[in-house]
Each structure stands twice: as C-alpha cells, then as structure tokens.
Amino acid sequence: MSAAKIPHPPQPDPEPPRRPRTEVITRGFDPMLSVGSARPAVFRSSTYVFSSPEAAERAFDIVTGRAQPAPGEHPELIYSRLNHPNAEILEAQLAPLETDAREALVFNSGMAAIMTALMAHMQPGQGIVFTVPLYGGTEHLIQDFLAPLGMRGRPVPAGDGPGLQRAIAEMPNLAVVLLETPANPTLIMADIAQAAAAASRRQPRPIVMVDNTLLGPAFQHPLALGADLCLYSATKYLSGFSDMIGGAIMGADPALMHPIRLKRSLFGNILQPDECWILDGRLPTVGLRMQRASENAERVAELLARHRAVSRVFYPRLVRDLEQQRIIAAQCDAPGAMISLELRGGKPAAFEFLRRLKLARNAVSLGGVETLACHPKTTTHSGFTEAQFATAGVTDGLVRLSIGIEDWRDLVADFESALDAVTRVQL
Ligand SMILES: *Cc1c(COP(=O)(O)O)cnc(C)c1O
C-alpha cells in the first residue's frame, strides 16, 4: 500500500507562535514530567536510568556526536556532567531571551562560559582579535593562558572602529573576534555590525563572539547584528540578586554550539541543578529588572552630570562623541544601569564618596537589584599597568556604579548627600 492511500490522522490545531516573554516561562517544561508540579522541580541525580540498552546506545551515539538526533527525537539523559533536566529547562527558557538565538548552554561561571567557547573554537597557531579593556579574567585568560598555548591575541582599544576592522582584516589565521561592549568601566561601545561585516570579508570567516553581560539580554542584541555567539556572566543581570555564580552562551547556529557542548562535557563545567533552578526562576523578571534599573540610572546620571564634585560622567545617554552616539542609537534599546563618574580630587575624593554612601554599598560586581559602587583603579582593574590605565580611562578619581531597582528618589538623595560631603573635602 502506498503512503498516499493512508488517511491522514487528524492534525491538532497549530499552536499560535509564542513571544519571548511567554516562552521564557513556558518553553521546555512539561509539568507532567515533574509529577504535575507547576514550576520545575530540582533533579539532583548524577545518573539516569535508561529505558532499554538500545536507548542507552543511542543516547551515547548522540552525545558523542557520532549520530545526529532525528527531528523531534529526545535522546535519554545519561549523566549530569553531560546534561540534566534542570539545565535542559533553563537552556530552553534562556534561548528566547536572546533575540535570534536558537540554543543556549549554561556553565558554572561566566569565565567558564568564555573559556569553553574559546577552547572549542580556537586551535594552537590561530589568533583572536579582542577589544580592550575586557573583563579582567577574560584578558588574563587570553594573554596568560591562551598565548603560551600558541593562540595569539591582538588587542584593539574599545571605540577604535577603524583599528578593529584593520585588525580583523590583517591578523593571520584569525579564528575568533571577541567584543565586550560596552567596555567596563568607561562604557565605550564597539560596533558589533561593523565587526561582523569585517569578519564576513574573511575566508574562512572568524567566529564573532560578544560578551553581552552589561546590556543583554534586554537592551543589546548581538546575534541580530551579525554576531555568532553571545557570552554571559549570568552572575550579573540574568540572575540579578548577587547570590549566585553562573554563565551562559546563546547562539543561532547549532553547528557552532555543538563543539562548545562537547568541551563542556569534557571540562565538567556545566551549571549544577540547584543553580539552574535558581537561575531559571529569575529569567521571567530579567527584562523588568533591567528596565527599572536603567530608568533609575538615567535619573542618577542626570544628578551626577550637574553636581560640581563630579568632573565627568560616563553614561551612554550623556555621550558627546558623534560616532559613539551613532553606535548607541543603532545598537542599544536603553542606556542600561552602569554609570562611571570621575570625581574632582582623585583618589581621596573617590574614597570619601564611597565612605559617605549609605544606600549604595561598596562592592565589586554588578547587575543586582541592589545598588553597588566601587573604585576600579584599586579593585577590579588594580592589575593594570599605567599604560592600560591610560587606554582604559581608569583614573584615580573614577568610581563605577551598578544601579539597582530601589526607589530612584532614595538613590538620588544618597548620591547627592555623598557628593555634597565630597565637595566639602575638595574645597
Ligand atoms: C563578571 C563578568 C565576567 C565573568 O563572570 P563570572 O560569572 O564572574 O565568571 C565576564 N564578563 C563580564 C563583562 C563580567 O562582568
């Protein structure tokens, strides 16, 4: 009997397409697999029972890359270093948050995500072009760990668009372009679309990775601008409460994600079930939290810009450089909640400011619901050389703020009284 003679089974009504804000709550989670629990349960098992030896064989073929899963096929779980239900649920719900992403992978820190992405896509003898300043750990990884393994790095100052295009065009054996935009702590932007276009002019095309921790996933969408992979410290806005360490990678092309997944299984740096469960519960509010924090930061930046204790404010809304304005308009939906300010009077003024703050706390890190302030030159960036301080714009009087979601009036009052106190010291 030919297939055409078989009557078609009744088709269920097609599901209406769902939007990211819905998918972040519903996707990849079947309550019936968790005894009807309305929210995901935590599966702490290290190992999983197979339904048959054949299913075990098939699962191993797929996880090792010897076989591809058929459309709609879900290979059985094996062992939690490779994969586990809470990572699967989290990854299914993370992907819709990043515009154009199809897949996500989660890691036990942002550094683990970055290291695994680079180790999966670089070989000895190949090169990486990257913007500076990068997150300190990432720069350390490239200069002090990858370089001795024969993977050469070429730094380009953030904001130097022509320099970045030239480096991408010229560097021999270029495997990866890594952008961190905005740069920390001066929030200078790199043009993602321009870098992706420069990468596309090379054969073979290098992979464009963007560390999207500071403005993503709410306000900056690198994949839509031509980047291949978004890297995240989930420790920051994604988790949002300064109470866990995690990392994530989002991408559109499964062929670029697969080698990273294999390396993650090898390195054993997948995010653990409890942490996956915590992070998963934070995802539906990441857009709300970032929106409120960004609105608060705009109010705080206005105050800082008109206070006489402050000589300079670094904030995307207040940028005067025309090229930077163009990139911000093309690339960012909102200015975000990171602000840096330079106080008149150098380090003593900066330290006095930090001492005087009552609501904002003196701590490194960022992206939490609570407002934090730190002095980059003596903390996050203290390993820099004088030349690096100069290129990165890290001066003695610079203070970095991560604005939270408190009532903006209390924040403005706190910053204003601390600045007034600094003015008395400066005089
Ligand atoms: C914090 C941070 C990292 C490192 O993330 P961890 O979760 O601390 O490992 C990487 N990049 C940026 C931009 C960060 O802010």
Among the residue ranges 42-51, 64-73, 180-189, the one predicted with the least confidence is 64-73
Task: Say if CB 164 and CB 194 are below 8 A apart.
Answer: yes
Asked if residue 210 has pLDDT above 50, the reply is yes
Q: Looking at residues 295-314, what average pLDDT do you find?
A: 97
Asked if residue 426 has pLDDT above 80, the reply is no
Cα(109) to centroid of ligand 1, in Å?
8
Asked if residue 6 has pLDDT above 50, the reply is no
- At position 232, the amino acid (one-letter code) is Y
Ligand 1: atom nearest CA of 234 is: 7
**Residue-wise pLDDT tens digits, 276-287:** 999 999 999 999
Q: Which residues line ligand 1 (CB under 6 A)?
A: 109-111, 135, 137-138, 180, 184, 211, 213-214, 233, 235-236, 245, 247
Task: State residue 320's pLDDT score.
Answer: 94
Residue 66 burial by Cβ neighbours in a 10 Å radius (0-12, 13-18, 19+): exposed
Angle, CA of 65, 71 and 77, to the nearest 5°? 55
Cα(232) to centroid of ligand 1, in Å?
7
* 212, 230, 235: residue to mutate for ligand 1 pocket, most atoms within 8 A of CB: 235
Task: State residue 9's pLDDT score.
Answer: 47
Contacts 24+ apart (CB under 8 A), 383-392: 383/136, 383/140, 384/133, 388/132, 388/133, 391/132, 391/133, 391/157, 392/132, 392/133, 392/183, 392/185, 392/186
List active site positions. Answer: 81, 135, 211, 236
Cα(157) to centroid of ligand 1, in Å?
19
Task: State residue 33's pLDDT score.
Answer: 86
Question: Residue 118's pLDDT band (boundaries 50, 70, 90)?
Answer: very high
Q: Is the dihedral of CA 99, 100, 102, 103 positive or negative?
A: negative
Task: State residue 5's pLDDT score.
Answer: 43
Residue 3 CB neighbours (<10 A): 5
Ligand 1: atom nearest CA of 184 is: 13
Q: For residue 99, what are the CA distances in angstroms to 71, 85, 107, 216, 385?
A: 23, 24, 20, 10, 37
Task: State residue 391's pLDDT score.
Answer: 86
Task: State residue 2's pLDDT score.
Answer: 40
Question: Residue 12's pLDDT band (boundaries 50, 70, 90)?
Answer: low
Strand order in the sheet with 229-233: 103-107, 247-251, 229-233, 207-211, 174-180, 127-132, 152-157
Task: State residue 45's pLDDT score.
Answer: 96
Task: Say if CB 229 and CB 200 are below 8 A apart.
Answer: no
Q: Distance (Å, rounded) from C-alpha 414 to C-alpha 344? A: 19
Task: State residue 112's pLDDT score.
Answer: 98
